[in-house]
Amino acid sequence: MDRTERRERLAMYALDSPAADRANAIGLANAEWFHSDVPRKRMKELMRREDMPAIRWTALWLGVMLVSAGLAIATWGAWYAIVFLLVYGILYGSGGDSRWHETGHGTPFETRWMNVVVYQIASFMMMREPTVWRWNHTRHHTDTIIVGMDPEIQAMRPARLARIIVNFAGLYDVPVSFKLMFMHAFGRLTRDEAMVVPSQEQYKVYRTARIWLLIYAAAIATSIFTWSILPLLLIGGPRIYGTFMQVIYALTQHAGLQENALDHRLNCRTIKMCWVNRFIYWNMNYHVEHHMFPMVPSHKLPDLHADIKHDLPAMYPSIWAAYKEIIPAVLRQFKDPTYGVRRELPPGAAPFYEPIQTPAP
């Protein structure tokens, strides 16, 4: 695939591309998806929201962040301050992603304002405009990995490897986020943003950008006034030095799997993780389950997995096991963009739901 062919193919992922028209024309957009059969009573139990589990997870997350930040400040100048900053940075720049995601769904807390507060905090940490990303993520769940419809496809075919690699240090996302903040502050949206954000909510985007830029300006001014980089390492900086775990987790979700499929077992992964990773990632390692039933709170996803695992491909035993599949698949897609990993189902599982057979665009 030469450079021109690659550029043309990547353009198909835009929300106003011919691929979007095609997805609408053949019934891939806003389509009916496969769901494992779960008794109605049991599903109501799984979907019931509770404050206390989320309060415990959130209190631990913010508590460890505050303690590690305090220790970093107290030991600033000593080499081991780096250890405390790393803990703080990962919980900010990677843990913030899963908190943004879950509270964006409104499922962790029963009390609505708690979801809103944590969502706003985590959105700021991840430099994701909360109104834009709420609508983007709604599209992601409605049209998961449907080319031209899903605005959150990370590993396109072919993958933008340079972008993925530099994003382990936020070196693509952060500059783009600041560019968008300034654009929003001046009352403008990108073409894709204008397509997903209703006109009556666009003022929220502009207001948020102005507030965030004031906060970052205050952090920069404090850093200059104190002649120390520490304020920037605590505000904004973790989106660079602490975001690498978020990238590691995010690529396991869909990379290398099927596009234009209407069965989440074909385009999502469920991975076994240790309790530390599950805490940072807030149980989003149960990703097939989350996409199949997005209104189930994250702390109940292990229970949901137990209920439907007879219908699912085997859980990957580790992050590394997933990457042993992802890396060769992504590299193969440079030569064959139609290729996607196809998992095996256990005996007795409901067959893959494939009502439409369509070649990749």
Would 61 be classed as within a structural domain? Answer: no
Q: In the chain, how many domains are there?
A: 1
Report the percentage of the chain scoring pLDDT > 90. 89
Q: In the prediction, which pLDDT does 4 show?
A: 79
Q: Please indicate, yes or no, if residue 319 is contained in any of the structural domains.
A: yes
Q: Is 360's pLDDT higher than 70? A: no
- Kindly state whether residue 342 falls inside one of the protein's structural domains: yes
First to last CA, the chain: 14
Q: Does the pLDDT of residue 286 top 50, yes or no?
A: yes
Q: Which sign, positive or negative, has the C-alpha torsion 29, 30, 34, 36?
A: positive
- Quick check: is 357 in a domain? yes
* pLDDT single digits (tens) 253-278: 999 999 999 999 999 999 999 999 99
Residue 266 is assigned to a structural domain of this protein: yes
Report helix, strand or coil for 270. Answer: strand
Vertex 358: Cα angle to 354 and 361 (nearest 5): 140
Cβ neighbours for 27, distance < 8 A, ≥ 6 positions apart? 355, 356
The secondary structure of 59-117, three-state, reads HHHHHHHHHHHHHHHHCECECCHHHHHHHHHHHHHCHHHHHHHHHHHCCCCCCHHHHHH
Q: Tell me, what's the pLDDT at 195?
A: 85
Residue 324 has pLDDT above 60, yes or no: yes
pLDDT band at 356 (very low <50, low <70, confident <90, very high): low
Mean pLDDT for 267-293 is 97
DSSP-assigned letters across all residues of 274-341: -HHHHHHHTTTTBHHHHHHSTTS-GGGHHHHHHHHGGGSPPPBSSHHHHHHHHHHHHHHHHH-TT---
Query: pLDDT tens-digit profile of 75-103?
Result: 999 999 999 999 999 999 999 999 999 99
Give the residue numbers spanning the domain of 18: 1-30+145-159+243-285+298-361
Q: Does 69 fall in a domain? A: no
Cβ count near 163 (within 10 Å): 14
Residue 329: pLDDT over 70: yes
Could you write out the DSSP letters of every residue in 8-59?
Answer: HHHHTTSTTSHHHHHHHHTT-TT---------HHHHHHHH---HHHHHHHHH
Prediction pTM value: 0.93
Residue 359 has pLDDT above 70, yes or no: no
Q: Average pLDDT for residues 286-312, to the nearest whole number?
A: 97
The more confident residue out of 16 and 143 is: 143
- Name the residue among 357, 342, 340, 343 with its Cα closest to residue 156: 340
Asked whether residue 253 is assigned to any structural domain, the reply reads yes
In this model, does residue 129 exceed pLDDT 90?
Answer: yes
Cα four-point dihedral sign 143, 149, 154, 157: positive
The mean pLDDT of 144-154, rounded to a whole number, is 93
Q: What is the average pLDDT score of the chain?
A: 94
Phi, psi angle pair for 215, to nearest 5°: -65, -45
Q: What is the pLDDT, as a whole number, of residue 1? A: 65
Residue 35 tokens, joined: 């769901």
Phi, psi at residue 271, to the nearest 5°?
-130, 135
Read off the pLDDT band of 214 (50, 70, 90). Answer: very high
Residue 10 lies in a domain: yes
Helix or strand or coil: residue 243? coil
- Rounded Cα distance between 239 and 267, Å, is 27
Residues 163-193 pLDDT 10s = 999 999 999 999 999 999 999 999 999 988 8
